[in-house]
Amino acid sequence: MIPVRLHQDCKGLVLLGVLLGILWETGYTQIHYSVLEELEKGSRVGNIAKDLGLEAQELEERGVRIFSGGRMQLFALNLRSGSLVTAGRIDREELCMGAIKCQLNLEILMDKVKIYGVVVEVKDINDNAPYFQEDELEIKMSENAAIGMQFPLPHAWDPDIGKNSLQSYELSSNTHFSLEVQSEADGNKYPELVLERALDREEKAVHQLVLTASDGGEPVRTGTARIRVKVVDVNDNAPAFAQSEYRVSVPENVVVGTTLLLVNATDPDEGANAEVMYSFRYVDNKAAQLFKLDCNLGTISTTGELNHEESGFYEMEVQAMDNAGYSARAKVLITVVDVNDNAPEVVVTSLSSSVLENSPRGTLIALLNVNDQDSGENGHVICFIQGNLPFKLEKSYENYYSLVTDTLLDRELVPSYNITVTVTDRGSPSLSTETHISLNVADINDNPPAFSHASYTAYIPENNPRGASIVSVTAYDPDYGKNAQVTYSLVEDTLQGAPLSSYVSINSDTGVLYALRSFDYEQSRDLQLRVTAHDSGDPPLSNNVSLSIFVLDQNDNTPEILYPALPTDGSTGVELAPRSAEPGYLVTKVVAVDRDSGQNAWLSYRLLKASEPGLFAVGLHTGEVRTARALLDRDTIKQSLVVAVQDHGQPPLSATVTLTVAVADSIPAILSDLGSLEVPYNSDASSLTLYLVVAVAAVSCVFLAFVIVLLALRLRHWHASRLLQASGGGLASVPASQFVGVDGMRAFLQTYSHEVSLTADSRKSHLIFPQPNYADTLISQESCEKSEPLLQSGDSMFSKDNHVCIQVSPYQIFFSGR
């Protein structure tokens, strides 16, 4: 009989062992061990470290692991001793039922890529006693059975092999029967009961026998079955099968309850003696759970689901028995045909969760074990990677595949991959399995920081507070972690002789630029600097960007009046306006500048205060002081004007200047009226009055002499030109038309500025002719320094301490006394 204990995993191990055995025979290096079955857990099988050429302590360092194809782990690795040991109880009969040689195949993985094959042969021991499937059996015999008739008996089953298997049968002592053993071609021994003496039901209706089966092990093990022989009335024909062997093939996915075949036996007797009953004479436990035999019809049908992977072949024996106990037997062979009902299985035996982005092509990512339990084309698999990914699969050993890189990776482009490995068999229809592997690309510092702009421009108003934020620069590093941590610094430079770091500073973490001092637009209008961004990688990478900071002008400077300039010697300036001046006559021009720029430097002029309102007007944008109406006799000779100059800043700033205008038709009139003007005086005020009168008279004489000279020059133009060139060229460029009549004199006075200087201790007077002074032109002080002695006088009429200066522009007169 066939064993009842058969585990599903054992079938897988046997199948895997056969496949690996075929491959190993083609040339793969194998390590062979043998072990007795039923050893205790932890029993030593062999020194695997020695056979691998390693020391025991190197096993753990080299990552040595054991893999078996089945679901049961039968062996383990003792890392301390380097030995291969049993991981549990090993039952040869469960693993290799019916096999003459029981070999188990293992794979040893070392260094994640090296694989060695190991074959362990399990030796049999006499651990099973022969047994009968039925402990009691009843045999019916006709009382007219012929002497020598043989009656088949159930044979015993011993799962052991060799001498430990079933060796002999023995029948208990009796007077009617003997035992004969038939040896078949398959090696099984079938006992038969032989009638040695005629039966007599009236003498004895039932015979009790004991059949003993013995093996050849040490010690000898036996099994018994009780046989009850019942003597019946005459029925001298036994049933006979139409054929001695029935074969059928059935797909493993057949529906439960399907009739597979029909066995048929006939009995030539008539009536009740011809009725035949069918039964299994021999069937193992697994087959008994899957197949059913109809005792009346002889049909065999399925009672459970078939699985080719668990067992692809079933052998059983059926018998047909009539009412007299005569029987016949026949073999039934059922082949289970494989269908593609198992998807491939993928086991990731080794996996790296991350890989450096600069890893070379062919870097190992994972080691995959692929298996399909189906057979034939249904068990052949194809592995591939879905999508256009930079990876490929390489077959490394047997059904092991290596997942490796196919090109260089770039974390900045793709930081991680979800790799889908698809395994498809060649069945119809094909089945497939997907395995998903997540891989992170580890970063290296291969990218310098990059600024968001090619250059930066910032503006800051002048007079800013210290510590004011100017601008923020930002650099981005596409790397990861510390390789992407950016710090900022300024490239050292100097500005106006001072280090740049004394003007601005930068926050190394945020890139915000701060002012360390208050800027002055009038001193420095812009700063040009460079900012450096460093990452924290190893080695660090950096990048520079230019930054232009422009200082914005603020209205922080009041207008500065250049003309009329206040004398530094204590004298008072007076502007001259002839009484005959028409409305719009240009008296003088106020000239001012503003150190600011733009709108803050736009100046406007206005008449803030006048002693005679409505007499004078000031040009809003030119600063020209002109008569607003004709001068009247009632207008006083001394007119005081206050002119305000204001810029257009916010808030606006302004400055004022006071002008004194003398109104007279002629120089003598001016001199006669000078007494009404206020002049500075010292403690000798009484004597100063006399001196002033004398000075005015002297000036009048000088003026008359001056007029005579001009008339002479007009008559002799060419001689006048040479004379003027010899005295400094002061009048060389004066057109002749400017000296005609009284009107010509007035025009000359409007165009030129003359300075007459008289001193009490000098016999000389100086008359200076500067360059032409047009309405919008400011006379520089240097242009008034050319002098020519025009007047000679005799004895001095003035005191040493008195000094009179008359400046006309048209006539600006200064008086000073000391």
Q: What is the pLDDT of residue 689?
A: 64
DSSP 132: -
Q: What is the pLDDT of residue 70?
A: 62
685-715 and 717-726 helices, crossing angle to 10°: 130
The residues pairing with 211 across neighbouring beta strands, listed in sequence order, are 171, 225
Kindly give the pairing relationship between strand 299-302 and strand 259-262. antiparallel
Mean pLDDT over 706-732 rounds to 61
Q: Is 163 helix (H, G, I), strand (E, B) or coil?
A: helix
Residues 258 and 249: their CA atoms lie apart, in Å, by: 13
Residues 454 and 545: their CA atoms lie apart, in Å, by: 7
For residue 759, what is the enclosing H or E element? strand 754-759
**Which residue bears the tokens 């006088």?**
793
The number of beta carbons lying within 10 Å of the beta carbon of residue 703 is 20
Residues 816 and 798: their CA atoms lie apart, in Å, by: 13
Q: Is it the case that residue 540 has pLDDT exceeding 80?
A: yes
Residues 480 and 412: their CA atoms lie apart, in Å, by: 9
Q: Is 20 helix (H, G, I), strand (E, B) or coil?
A: helix
Can you read off the two tokens belonging to residue 305? Answer: 């689901």
Amino acid letter, residue 281: R
Residues 682 and 588: their CA atoms lie apart, in Å, by: 30
Q: Is it the case that residue 465 has pLDDT exceeding 60?
A: yes
Q: Which stretches of 241-358 are DSSP H helices?
A: 285-290
Model pLDDT for residues 11-62, shown as the tens digit of each residue: 444 444 444 444 444 334 678 888 888 788 888 888 888 888 888 788 877 8
Residues 661 and 603: their CA atoms lie apart, in Å, by: 23
| pLDDT band at 79; cut points 50, 70, 90 | confident
Q: Is it the case that residue 247 has pLDDT exceeding 50?
A: yes
Classify residue 584 as left (phi > 0), alpha (psi -120 to 50) or beta.
left
Classify residue 86 as left (phi > 0), alpha (psi -120 to 50) or beta.
beta
Q: What is the pLDDT of residue 372?
A: 83
Q: Is 784 helix (H, G, I), strand (E, B) or coil?
A: helix
| pLDDT band at 724; cut points 50, 70, 90 | very low
Residues 770 and 88: their CA atoms lie apart, in Å, by: 127
Q: Is it the case that residue 333 has pLDDT exceeding 90?
A: yes
Phi, psi of 341 (to 5 degrees): -115, 10
Distances from the Cα of 599 to the Cαs of 239, 442, 460, 463, 648, in angstroms?
133, 59, 17, 17, 6
Phi, psi of 240 (to 5 degrees): -140, 135
Lowest mean pLDDT among 326-330, 576-580, 730-734: 730-734
Distances from the Cα of 163 to the Cαs of 34, 43, 95, 120, 807, in angstroms?
19, 25, 19, 22, 153
Residues 62 and 57: their CA atoms lie apart, in Å, by: 9
Q: Is 484 helix (H, G, I), strand (E, B) or coil?
A: helix
Whether the CB-CB separation of 108 and 118 falls below 8 Å is answered with yes
Q: What angle do CA 568, 571, 573 make, to 5 degrees?
A: 100
Q: What is the pLDDT of residue 449?
A: 93
Give 3-state DSSP helix, strand, coil % of the chain, rounded to 5.
15, 40, 45
SS (H, E, C) 12-51: HHHHHHHHHHHHHCCCCCEEEEEEECCCCCCCEEEEHHHH
Q: What is the pLDDT of residue 309?
A: 79
Lowest mean pLDDT among 106-110, 420-424, 588-592, 763-767: 763-767
Q: What is the pLDDT of residue 307?
A: 85
DSSP 173: P
Q: What is the pLDDT of residue 457?
A: 93
Can you read off the two tokens belonging to residue 533? Answer: 């961004």
The number of beta carbons lying within 10 Å of the beta carbon of residue 517 is 12
| pLDDT band at 475; cut points 50, 70, 90 | very high
Q: What is the pLDDT of residue 550?
A: 92
Q: Is it the case that residue 621 has pLDDT exceeding 50?
A: yes
* The total number of residues written for the chain in this structure: 818
Model pLDDT for residues 780-809, shown as the tens digit of each residue: 333 333 333 333 333 333 333 333 333 333
The residues pairing with 643 across neighbouring beta strands, listed in sequence order, are 607, 657
Q: What is the pLDDT of residue 324?
A: 79
Q: What is the pLDDT of residue 722?
A: 52
**Which residue bears the tokens 């008339």?**
711
Q: What is the pLDDT of residue 29?
A: 64
| pLDDT band at 669; cut points 50, 70, 90 | low
Residues 458 and 342: their CA atoms lie apart, in Å, by: 71
Q: What is the pLDDT of residue 673?
A: 57
The number of beta carbons lying within 10 Å of the beta carbon of residue 230 is 13
Helices and strands, counts by H and E, the chain: 9, 56
Peptide bond into 152 cis (omega under 30): no
Model pLDDT for residues 124-153, shown as the tens digit of each residue: 787 888 888 888 889 888 878 888 888 888
Residues 197 and 175: their CA atoms lie apart, in Å, by: 7
Instruction: Indicate the burial class of 112 (C-beta count within 10 angstroms; 0-12, 13-18, 19 or more).
Output: middle
| pLDDT band at 83; cut points 50, 70, 90 | confident
Whether the CB-CB separation of 528 and 538 falls below 8 Å is answered with no
Q: Is it the case that residue 120 has pLDDT exceeding 50?
A: yes
Burial 634-668 (b: 16+ CB within 10 A, else e): ebebbbebebbbbbbbeeebebebebbbbbbebbe
Model pLDDT for residues 737-756, shown as the tens digit of each residue: 333 333 333 333 333 343 33
Whether the CB-CB separation of 590 and 643 falls below 8 Å is answered with yes
Nearest to 557 by CA among 592, 589, 526: 592
CA dihedral (361, 362, 366, 372) positive or negative: positive
Residues 662 and 657: their CA atoms lie apart, in Å, by: 16
Whether the CB-CB separation of 342 and 15 falls below 8 Å is answered with no
Q: Is it the case that residue 662 has pLDDT exceeding 50?
A: yes
Lowest mean pLDDT among 53-62, 233-242, 422-431, 713-722: 713-722
Select the more confidently predicted residue: 561 or 784. Answer: 561
Task: Report DSSP letters for 69-102, one per residue.
Answer: SSSS--EEEETTTTEEEESS---HHHHSTT-SS-
